[in-house]
């Protein structure tokens, strides 16, 4: 559903479309794995000139850092201490998916912004 609009909008950047679709597949997986996100985030680094126009970098980085810190903590509280339940871990996966979505939207908008500036 998302591939066709992305392919039409970024028809001059097929590699960027591939990376964004890979990110969307990662977001919509039922069980999030860090390795999937690392793959498309490392591929996003190829577009360093485009990512310079990102606006919410601070928010995205802090969201990923909070997930990285709270993930092991919630897992410990749920499995070993027995004081938390699965809802804490589920909420963390929602924050993780939201951070990935913010990253993809910001990367796409920065690419559009750079193309607009380059066209002028």
Distance CA(10)–CA(17), nearest Å, equals 7
Per-residue model confidence as pLDDT tens digits over 24-42: 999 999 888 889 999 999 9
Structural domains of the chain, count: 1
Q: Indicate if the pLDDT at residue 111 is higher than 90.
A: yes
Residue 34, pLDDT score: 87
Query: Torsion angle of alpha carbons 39, 41, 42, 46, nearest 10°?
Result: 130
pTM attached to this predicted model: 0.91
């Amino acid at each position: 559903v998302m591939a066709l609009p992305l392919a039409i909008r970024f028809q001059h950047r097929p590699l960027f479309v591939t990376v964004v679709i890979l990110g969307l597949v990662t977001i919509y997986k039922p069980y999030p794995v860090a390795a999937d996100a690392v793959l498309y985030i490392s591929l996003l680094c190829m577009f360093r000139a485009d990512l310079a126009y990102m606006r919410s970098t601070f928010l995205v980085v802090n969201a990923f850092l909070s997930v990285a810190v709270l993930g092991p903590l919630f897992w410990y509280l749920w499995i070993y201490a027995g004081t938390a339940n699965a809802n804490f871990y589920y909420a963390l996966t929602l924050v993780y998916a939201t951070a990935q979505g913010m990253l993809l939207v910001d990367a796409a908008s920065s690419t559009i912004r750079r193309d607009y500036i380059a066209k002028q």
